[in-house]
Structure 1
Amino acid sequence: MHDRNTHIRRVKYTAFGLRIASELILPELIPAEPGVEEDVVIRQADLSAWREQLEQTNFVMQDERFMFQIPGTAIYAIREGKEIEVSMLPGADPDTVRLYILGTCMGVLLLQKRTLPIHGSAVVIGGRVYAFVGESGAGKSTLAAAFRHAGYQMVSDDVIAINVTASAAIVYPAYPQQKLGLESLLQLEALQEKHVLHKEHVLSLTDGNPATPQYRDLRKIAGEFNKYAVPAVNEFYNDPLPLGGVFELVNNSSNGELMRGGEPVMVTEQPLNKLECLHTLLQHTYRRGIIPRMSLGEWYFDTAARMARKVEGWRLLRDSSFFTASEVVQRVLELIHKEEHYGSHEFS
């Protein structure tokens, strides 16, 4: 790794279990203790020589360096799990530049370090981390926010970094920020105030009108419609913990067909066997399309298979015609407490 311009000031942070020294200010991350030796360097570089080639393809692999371009934003190069180079394009939005550093770049870097990145949100329950995965719009971030509001700490809201050891799957916390839509923010606020928020009111606020005063200071996520960066410093757990289980969230509009005790059932669960759990982990790996191009297919499958043997898995089907965050929180806690009672978290 070459290190030019060593006089340039670098700010040190921690994220994903890594100590990071960065020439770019990354306000989303937690500052590191002074004097620590960095694991990763983020620096600005001139990668313009690769621009024409990157315009013809999605990425370039050169030895241990993975490069990609986001038009109008930057060219990025990630090398050997140790370095991220950023070549900002003219007129680039700094927020968008950072979005890809903390997202795709970190995902590639974790893969280079043989740490599996799962796409989802994760919270701490009973000394273990539980991950929530699912397709876009399944409610992963909203559920993690509901757990925060219920007094639980989060460890990630996008990339869940997991290192599989001989005895456990260990999760390394990301950084204390969530991405939440305005509708979710309003619904969660209503939940806290213990009154029902009419759906028409929510829609009127998300239909291009200004956000309510308490959300005006939130930074809007670049490229996302009505999604905001929500700090979660006070509810963030910043130490590694074992992964206890994975919940796959699936939207399922039942139209009130499923009833229990005369009431509609808004959340139902299906336990996942080890093969189904493996499939879920493979399906929801962050930037999984990159993995075969990095020649990591064998390592990837073996790591996910070992992880699937060490954790519990469930599929949660929620009625998408209702706001079900509090019901899902309650059901998740019931399932975890039931598993703990029967001692099924013992690793074989």
Structure 2
Amino acid sequence: MHDSSTRSISLEVYTAFGLKIASELELPELIPAASGVVEDVVIRQADLTEWSEQLEQTHFMIEGESFMFHVPGTAIYAVRGGKEVEVYVYHGADPDTVRLFVLGTCMGVLLLQRRILPLHGSAVVIGGKAYAFVGESGAGKSTLAAAFTQAGYKIVSDDVIAVQATAFKTIVYPAYPQQKLGLESMLQLEALQENKHGRKTNHGLILMDGNPAMPKHGHLRKLTGELNKYALPTVDSFHNEPLPLGGVFELVAESPKREFQREGELKAVIEHSLNMLECLHTLLFHTYRRVVIPRMSLGEWHFRTVARVARQVEGWRLLRDSSAFTASEIVHRVLDIIRKEENSYGS
């Protein structure tokens, strides 16, 4: 631990995940916080090389309230008590990769230490609520969120969704205005933008003409360590206020099979409503960095929190044809589901 009063290095203060984060490392992905705020979390550079040998033998270590892990050639990280992140950056390490793990694994573990549930997925604003899209890597979460933003909706988070559940409500805290998109998805969305015409729904214009086209991929930063993915800034389409969680959609990409055949027509997307137990299982499975939870002695808290969320919100599973580009169809399907849900509550 370090006494900030003895250090001359200035700290920039940012906001993300409902927290004020003071950092020695520049974090250009995050939104600067207002001056004079008191930080919740401090990110500092520190000499953590004494743990190098032990960390080389294992994926991560836990010492009391400290969680440490090692990324060869990049950095050693220590997340302490939900309040501090220490980083030892190896000489010659790529700064983008260093930040990738600060904003990913470090923030996921820090949220767990603060008893905030991190879900692995994207979240967008629909009708004044945040809707979470969870799923395994490659399921299409970020692509779907990008399709929503292209259609005029705001994004709350991509990759890590910070959720806090009380006995009476579940709140989603915004992350930061950046998405991670594959080149193929960006090109598909560009083509969709050029060819689709807007149509009215109860929630606004979908796939409307006149929206800014996706930036050309040549101007985007490729994410080191991410297979053919690029950092896509989303400042203009980012919602930076907490919102109630409206529902959870699990995306599952599957090869076409008999289940997709309905009345002689091949459907690209099939929906299933989840009961409370299915929703609970989905949230447990798609918790970000869930493998570390037992080692952090958070199993009971994790189950209790997820059960609370599953009781308060509705869940759906969307099976999509992995051989087709289905983002636009899923956007329409999701909006239809939400509209029907709202109508059923209003009737």
TM-score by length of 1: 0.91
Q: Secondary structure at the match of 2:219?
A: coil
- 1:207-286 matches, within 5 Å, as 214-254=216-256, 258=260, 263-286=265-288
Deviation (angstroms), 1:105? 0.3
Q: Report percent identity of matched pairs.
A: 70
Compared with structure 1, are the counterparts of its residues 259 and 63 closer, same or farther at alpha carbon in structure 2 (3 Å cutoff)?
Answer: closer
Which range is displaced more, 260-269 or 135-144? 260-269
Deviation for aligned residue 1:165: 1.2
Shift of 1:7: 2.1
Residue 288 of structure 1 aligns with which residue?
A: 290
Shift in alpha-carbon separation, 1:113–1:223, aligned structure 2, 3 A: same
Which residue of structure 2 aligns with residue 139 of structure 1? 140
Structure 2 equivalent of residue 3 of structure 1: 3
Give the aligned residue type for 1:312.
E
Amino acid corresponding to residue 232 of structure 1 in structure 2: T
* Alpha-carbon separation, structure 2, partners of 1:264 and 1:79: 51
What is the correspondence of 1:161-240 to structure 2 with a 5 Å cutoff? 161-194=162-195, 214-240=216-242
Deviation at residue 255 of structure 1 after TM alignment: 5.5
Q: Which residue of 2 aligns with 1:64?
A: 65
Mark the CA change 1:333 to 1:256 in structure 2 (over 3 Å): closer, same or farther. Answer: same
Conservation of the 8 A alpha-carbon contact between 1:169 and 1:310: yes
Q: 1:255 to 1:321 in 2, by over 3 A?
A: farther
Contact 2:148 2:331 in 1 (8 A): yes
- 2-structure distance, mates of 1:333, 1:216: 32
In structure 2, what is the equivalent of residue 199 of structure 1?
none
State the aligned residue count.
329
C-alpha contact 2:260 2:270 (8 A) present in aligned 1: no
Q: Partners of 1:243 and 1:258 in 2: how far apart?
A: 30
Work out whether residues 260 and 269 of structure 2, in 8 Å CA contact, stay in contact via their aligned partners in 1: no
Aligned equivalents of 1:279, 1:343: Cα separation in 2: 25
2: CA distance between counterparts of 1:3 and 1:30? 26
Contact 2:172 2:243 in 1 (8 A): yes
Unaligned runs of 5+ in 1: 196-211
Equivalent position SS for 2:67: strand
SS at structure 1 position matched to 2:323:
coil
Cα distance in 1, alignment partners of residues 105 and 122 from structure 2: 16
Is 49-58 or 269-278 further displaced after alignment? 49-58
Q: Is the 8 Å Cα contact of residues 256 and 265 (structure 1) preserved in structure 2?
A: no
Which residue of the partner structure matches residue 95 of structure 2?
A: 94
The amino acid that maps onto 1:301 is F
Q: Distance in 2 between matches of 1:114 and 1:307?
A: 14
Contact 1:164 1:170 in 2 (8 A): yes
The residue that corresponds to 2:324 in the other structure is 322
AA at the equivalent of 1:119: H
Q: How many Å separate the matches in 2 of 1:67 and 1:265?
A: 46
Per-residue Cα deviation, 1:36-61 (whole angstroms, up to 9, x for no partner)? 11000000000011111111122221
Does the CA contact (< 8 Å) of 1:255 and 1:321 recur in 2?
no
Matched, 1:83 2:90: no
Provide the C-alpha distance between the structure 2 equivalents of 1:170 and 1:233, rounded to a whole number of angstroms. 21
Name the CA shift for 1:111/1:257 in 2 (closer, same or farther; >3 Å).
Answer: closer
Letter of the structure 2 residue corresponding to residue 22 of structure 1: S
SS in 2 for 1:292: coil
Inter-partner Cα distance in structure 1 for 2:60 and 2:323: 40
SS at match of 2:282: helix
Q: CA deviation at 1:3?
A: 2.3
- Using the alignment, how far apart are the partners of 1:316 and 1:27 within structure 2? 34
Report the CA distance between 1:249 and its aligned residue.
0.6
Q: How many angstroms apart in 2 are the aligned matches of 1:19 and 1:257?
A: 47
After superposition, what is the alpha-carbon deviation per residue over 1:252-275, rounded to whole angstroms, capped at 9, x for unaligned? 332687456764321110000000
Whole-angstrom CA distance in 1 between matches of 2:120 and 2:127? 22
* 2:77 partner SS: strand
User: 2:111 corresponds to which residue?
Assistant: 110
CA shift for structure 1 position 215: 1.5
SS at match of 1:343: helix
